[in-house]
């Protein structure tokens, strides 16, 4: 889980890119723009400051909607919210790995 400051940064980047921070509309946008690659649908939206918001329909991935944080020397992948963690993610112990 991100700190309050990290959550503010992610929400600010989402607002800057989409004009709002409504997660349901962002999820809908990602699903609509998904491309079928290797048997599962995926999409990715690049935000500023090394933040990517992604979607995958792969049931073996730990989350359906997730955030990639790419910083200098550090990379982290977190589910967008706790409800986006899949059954496979819960089995792997990722129930606390979410951004918002």
Is residue 97, in this structure, part of any structural domain at all? no
Along the chain (100 residues), what's the average pLDDT of each consecutive run of 10 residues?
Answer: 87 93 95 93 91 94 93 87 95 92
Count of domains observed in the chain: 1
pLDDT attached to residue 1:
76
Buried b (16+ CB within 10 A) or exposed e, 58-79: beebbbbbbbbbeeeeeeebbb
Of residues 17, 20, 84, the one with CA closest to residue 49: 17
Question: Within a domain: residue 64?
Answer: yes
What is the model's pLDDT at position 16?
Answer: 94
| Residue 98 in domain | no
* pTM, full prediction: 0.91
pLDDT at 41: 96
Tell me the residue range of the domain where 43 lies.
Answer: 4-91
**Considering just the CA atoms, what is the radius of gyration of the chain in Å?**
13
Token reading at 40: 């599962």
């Amino acid at each position: 889980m991100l700190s309050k400051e990290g959550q503010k940064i992610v929400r600010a980047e989402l607002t800057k890119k989409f004009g709002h921070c409504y997660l349901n509309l962002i999820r809908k946008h990602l699903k609509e723009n998904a491309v079928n690659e290797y048997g599962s649908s995926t999409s990715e939206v690049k935000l500023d400051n090394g933040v990517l918001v992604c979607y995958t329909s792969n049931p073996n991935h730990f989350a359906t909607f997730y955030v990639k944080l790419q910083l200098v020397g550090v990379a982290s992948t977190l589910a967008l919210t706790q409800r986006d963690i899949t059954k496979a993610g819960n089995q792997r112990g990722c129930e606390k790995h979410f951004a918002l």
